[in-house]
Amino acid sequence: MNRLSRRLLIWFVLIGVTPIVAIMLVILSIGRASEIEQVYNLLTLAADNKIAQIETYAAERQQSLLALSRSPTVTQIMRQIAVLERGTPAFRRVQADAVPFLIDFARTARYSDIMIINLDGDILISLQGTRGNIRQQPELDALARVVDNATTLLTPEISNFIIPSGGVPPRLLDGPQNRPPSTLSPTERPPLPPEFSPAAYLAAPICDDNIIVGV
C-alpha cells in the first residue's frame, strides 16, 4: 500500500470503521468467542474492500489532475498570465478567458476549486477567489506543502485530509479579502464540499517545453 493509500485509509478507519470497532468492543466485554471472530472477519473484509476503493479513487484523482496540468489550454493560460502584471486589464482578461474552461473541468471532475499558482507561490487564478501568496498565509500551509512536493517530485501530489470545523476548507469562504473573479457569480462557482466532509488539496506541475512554470 502506498503512502497515499495509508493516509486515506486512516480517514476511512476514523469515519467508517469506528462504529464496527465499537460493536466489537461490546462483544469483547461479553466474551462470546464466535461473535468476536465474526465481527473481526467483517471488519477485515470491510477494510480490504475500502482499501481497494481508496486506491482506485486516489489514482483517478491524480490522473484527472495530471491531464489538466498537461493540457495545452492550461499551458497557454500560464504562458499568457505569467508575464502580465497582476491587477491590470490584460491580466483580468486572461483570467476571464480561462474561467469557462476551468469551471467546466471543475464541475466534471467534482473539484471545489481550481487554482493556477506560479513558482513563487502567487495565486494567479482561483475559481473560489482565493488570493495572495500561499507561502505567506498560515491557513494555506497544507497547500504550500503539497505544491512544493509536486514541483520537487514532478508528480501529482495530495495533502493530508482535514475536516474543517466550518464545513469548508480554509480560504474557500467568501470575505472582503477573498472575492471571486468578477466574471464568476456565487451560483457559477463549483459547489463547496458538504459540511464537515473530508477535504484535501491536490497539486500537479505545469510544464512549458519541459520546464516547470507553475502548478
Q: How many domains does the chain have?
A: 1
CA 41 to chain centre: 33
Q: Which residue has the higher pLDDT, 34 or 175?
A: 34
Judge contact between 215 and 147, C-beta under 8 A: yes
pLDDT for 172: 41
Does residue 105 carry a pLDDT above 80? yes
Cα 51 to the center of its chain, rounded Å: 19
Of 12, 199, 211, nearest in space to 112 by CA: 199
Domain hosting 152: range is 3-214
The predicted-structure confidence for 129-173, as pLDDT tens digits, reads as follows: 888 999 998 888 889 999 999 999 988 988 877 765 444 444 443
- The C-alpha cell 499551458 sits at 75
What does the mean pLDDT of the chain come to?
76
User: For the segment 12-49, what is each residue's pLDDT rounded down to a tens digit?
Assistant: 555 555 666 666 666 566 555 566 667 667 777 777 77
Contact at 8 Å (CB) between 189 and 201? no
Asked whether the beta carbons of 121 and 147 are under 8 A apart, the reply is yes
Question: Quick one: pLDDT at residue 16?
Answer: 58
* Mean pLDDT within 114-137: 91
pTM beyond 0.75: the answer is no
- Please tell me the distance from the alpha carbon of residue 171 to that of residue 112, in angstroms, as a whole number: 12
Place of cell 505544491: 147
Q: What one-letter code names the amino acid at 104? A: D
Confidence of residue 177 (pLDDT cuts 50, 70, 90): very low
Q: Which one is predicted more confidently, 164 or 71?
A: 71
Report the alpha-carbon distance of residue 98 to residue 90 in Å, rounded: 13
